[in-house]
Amino acid sequence: MDGATRGAVGFGADDRRRKRKFLFYRGVAHIDAPLRVSRDALSGELQFRSQLAEMPLDRPLRIDSLWLVDIRPGGKIAFRPLPALSLDHAAGKPLMRTPADFAPADFAPGNLDKLKATLRSHWRPTGFSTTRHGRY
């Protein structure tokens, strides 16, 4: 088996209206995620950094929608939207900082529904349909 097909597994799924095919590939490469999030030990803040140093992009990679979400046992949820980021090849410098923790009052009843509504409103313009892709 050559490197192009090693680890490839495929199957079909039929949802009675159309047949879809999926391909899963276990490759031999290692690529870091484009965004690195770490917690500063002194301030307790989360720091966001670009990790695009080795990706061949001709312009910054823009991430328009980000959320920080904390889900606790029992279903308590706190979340907040974060500002958009542009990732470039300048790895190392923090692009954004945000508090890592939420106040107890942030775990309000109804937050799951608010989070779902927020995610839906941001996904719709991209063409993502929650009715086609599962329950949300």
What counts of helices (H) and strands (E) characterise the chain? 1, 9
**What pLDDT sits at residue 22?**
56
Could you give the residue ranges of the DSSP H alpha helices within 19-126? 111-123
pTM of the model: 0.65
**What pLDDT sits at residue 71?**
92
**What pLDDT sits at residue 5?**
44
With beta carbons less than 8 A apart as the criterion, state whether 35 and 50 touch.
yes
Could you give the number of structural domains in the chain?
A: 1
**What pLDDT sits at residue 6?**
44
**What pLDDT sits at residue 20?**
55
Let me know if residue 121 belongs to a domain. Answer: yes
Q: Which residues form the domain of 66?
A: 8-126
* Spans of the chain below 50 pLDDT: 1-15, 136
Instruction: List the structure tokens of 122.
Output: 């941001």
